Chain A
Amino acid sequence: MKINTLRRLFFIGCLFYYGIVCCQSKGMVFIEGSRYIPLYGRDSTVVEVKDFEMDIFPVTNAEFLKFIALNPQWQKSKVKKLFAEENYLNNWLNDHDLKSGVNLKSPVTYVSWFAAKAYCECMGKRLPTIDEWEYVAMADKELRDARVKKSYNQQILAWYETPKTYNNLIGENSKNVWGVYDLHGLVWEWTLDFNSVLISGESRKDVDKDSNLFCGSAAIGATDLMNYAAFMRYAFRGSIKARYAIKNLGFRCVKDVN
């Protein structure tokens, strides 16, 4: 009871501070749901994504600064070690300032999953699921599903081979057909169920859950062998834990559409 009340107050506080009245979706775009086959579908088959809205840009340092100012429990100095490792906001000087060379308009990184989740919830949003994230991320400028295009994979891989992109500003990459920027080319992004591919043994029949993304099993489980850019995302997600704070890892939020 008490906790619920606190939560409600916290939530209202967020709405108040951010001037969000209702379901206005400033800074978001509508994503029309559909069915598609991801790299690792549940049972390697089609998954369904419902309609939702997604942030156009990843969350920036500036936005996260504001959030932290109002939610001191997520400050660098106060955050619980259970929810964020020592690296948390490592490129921030203190609770209020960035280190020199770090830009306000760069994506916030060195954030844990807990912190990212709390941020989205405070905004009345949530983190996207892997299926949602991958669904939007398989679009390029022209197509909703550009995975078959050679240029699509090449661009993503070119990013994987470009060092220090976390220093770039949001919005410098071109937007995809949905109007979303920077899913590729800037930083990795947290997803709500980032670890589900690895720990839910039932998602890949015939393969016990020990055989994660090492060696052979990854190749066997994949439905789209050539989409090795996606392999790397799944491998990355498999390597992280919810309290990790990583230089290359930021996030954005989504929101359900009623």
Chain B
Amino acid sequence: MNHLITSFITVSFLKRPGVLLFIGVLLFSCANDEKKELASAIDIPVFQEMQAELTSPPKVPRPVGERKAKKLIVDMEILEKEGEMTNGVRYVYWTFGGTVPGSFIRTRVGDEVEFHLKNHPDNKLPHNIDLHAVTGPGGGAESSFVAPGHEKVFSFKVLNPGLYVYHCATAPVGMHIANGMYGLILVEPEGGLPLVDKEYYIMQGDFYTEGKNGERGLQPFDMQKAVNENADYVVFNGKVGALTGDNAITANVGETVRLFVGNGGPNLVSSFHVIGEIFDKVHIEGGNRINENVQTTLIPAGGAAIVEFKVDVPGTFILVDHSIFRAFNKGALGMLKVQGEKDKTIYSGELRDDIYLPEGGGIQSMPTTEEFVEAEVTAKTLAEQLKFGKQTYMQTCFACHQGEGQGVAGAFPPLSKSDYLNADVDRAIGVVLNGLTGEITVNGEKYNSVMTRQNLTDEEIANVLTYVYNSWDNSEQVVTPEMVNKVRSNSNL
């Protein structure tokens, strides 16, 4: 019967889909009072009022779970305050809620958020907030422009699920963001995101200081560097070391970890990566689409992503912006410490430490793309031999045998006052020509290492050995190209 009526209405209102939908819903609700299909998130009714739980990074508020949409009161205080960027470097941060990034806001689709933005009276500047989760002009910025000592209230209904950035949008906008005025607001779908064991809040930002990276003292913001996008610091959660050492985030083996990762910018895009983990799931750009098995996910400035992974083995996993100099030179580095039982099948740890011999049989050569060319200039005097020999030494031998032929104790034998060297010149030529592997004793110390075969001409070998023999209290032996050639052609040597 219902079906018949619906068909009839479908025909008669074919050109008026809005009306059709309305009646369709009505009919449906008559047939089944329990389940109401809502046309859109706009129609989700709210029940009761609730104070939003706000958290400082890296913590996140409790999941929404099954709760119904509510009127959610968010109290956010803006504080301009001095903090520490890294050891000895002070910076005046502008913050939402006293932290960089600002407090995490957790909502669900349909919530009506009543936002109270409070600008502390001690602050110097006016501020506002643009929440990317808001559907409306300026994302709330227009309605929230607030002078020091004042409070602005506005409200919005969250319509689209996802992870969104919020930030200050007061002129000069770039400066307000560069000083730390950003954070994340999560809009969970109805019923909430699937529950996981651990959830954390991480946000990257780039900072521009008048002094260069590490320069001590109170560092003012440098507008020119910001315009040039030449960051002194790129950090997670507002400072170097916010997520390392004692501040590291933690999990236990077997747990699933969900990271809400944002990027406040102002300028740089993040290539977010966790060393030693593969993201099982990534909500790309914080939206609905899920990608699986991701190594590195791109997080745009003013954007976010939700990444999830199960931790299977214990250890310290390093969170980085894989634009890697940012991680190791500018601060974009965090740690996830995982405790629990090892699983040797998944990851064995170091089993052996062997010598690697790509050519087998103890003879190695450095890979080369071209045939070597005879040196164009031939040494005519001992002085020239020493001069050319030194050049070859500095290019080829220096790294291991060091500047004064002293070698490196326990690893690379000395050439200075070397009994092994001075005892047999043909042997020395052979070593340079063919490389040397295995245990030898030099000046009473045992060495067991590998010297690769050197791609040098007879003349170059003659020169470099002459240089070595005539330096550092050695025997002052002179080596000629003919001597080298003789050894080269005699494979027994």
Contacts and interface: CB of A to CB of B under 8 A. Distances in A.
A204 interface: no
Contacts of A160: 124-125
B124 to A, nearest CB: 6
Interface stretch (A53-61, A66-74, A228-236): A228-236
A197 to B, nearest CB: 11
B175 A246 contact: no
A240 to B, nearest CB: 5
B126 A238 contact: yes
A32 to B, nearest CB: 31
Interface in B169-216: 169-173, 175, 210
A137 interface: no
A164 B121 CA distance: 10
Name the residue among A160, A239, A248 with the largest chain B CB count within 10 angstroms: A239
B171 A213 contact: yes
B173 A246 contact: no
A235 B130 CA distance: 16
B81 to A, nearest CB: 8
Given A161-B92, A164-B122, A236-B125, A231 B145 contact: no
A228 B175 contact: yes
A226 interface: yes
A239 B171 contact: no
| Size bracket of the A interface | 20 to 34
Nearest to B128: A214
Interface in A230-258: 231-232, 234-236, 238-241, 244-248
A82 interface: no
A154 interface: yes
A232 B149 contact: no
B82 to A, nearest CB: 7
Contacts of A87: 121, 149
Contacts of A218: 171-173
A210 B145 CA distance: 13
Given A228-B223, A238-B145, A240-B147, A214 B172 contact: no
A6 interface: no
A21 to B, nearest CB: 39
A248 B148 CA distance: 8
B457 to A, nearest CB: 57
A157 interface: yes
A158 B210 CA distance: 11
Nearest to A239: B126
Contacts of B141: 214-215
B124 A248 contact: yes
A101 interface: no
Contacts, number: 94
A19 interface: no
Interface in B105-142: 121-126, 128, 130, 137-138, 141-142
A215 B125 contact: no
A200 B93 CA distance: 33
B26 to A, nearest CB: 40
A215 B150 contact: no
A223 to B, nearest CB: 14
A241 B123 CA distance: 17
Given A163-B122, A164-B122, A232-B172, A215 B149 contact: no
B220 interface: yes
Nearest to B152: A239
Contact of B148 (A161, A231, A232, A246): A246
B146 interface: yes
A212 B142 CA distance: 8
A154 B148 CA distance: 23
Nearest to A110: B149
B220 A161 contact: yes
Name the residue among B130, B142, B147 with the largest chain A CB count within 10 angstroms: B147
B420 interface: no
Contacts of A239: 126, 145-147, 170
A215 B146 CA distance: 15
A219 B171 CA distance: 8
B170 A235 contact: yes
Contacts of B221: 157, 161
A231 B147 contact: no
A5 to B, nearest CB: 37
B126 A235 contact: yes
B173 A247 contact: no
Nearest to B123: A248
Name the residue among A218, A219, A232, A238 with the largest chain B CB count within 10 angstroms: A232
Contacts of B92: 161, 163
A136 B28 CA distance: 72
B285 interface: no
A119 B128 CA distance: 31
Contacts of B82: 163
Contacts of B81: 163
Contacts of B172: 218-219, 228, 231-232, 235
Contacts of A161: 92, 218, 220-221
Contacts of A157: 220-221
11 contacts: A87-B149, A163-B122, A212-B142, A214-B141, A235-B172, A236-B126, A238-B126, A239-B126, A240-B126, A247-B149, A248-B148
Given A161-B218, A226-B224, 16 more contacts: A157-B220, A157-B221, A158-B220, A163-B92, A212-B142, A214-B171, A232-B171, A235-B125, A235-B126, A235-B170, A239-B170, A240-B147, A246-B148, A246-B150, A247-B149, A248-B123
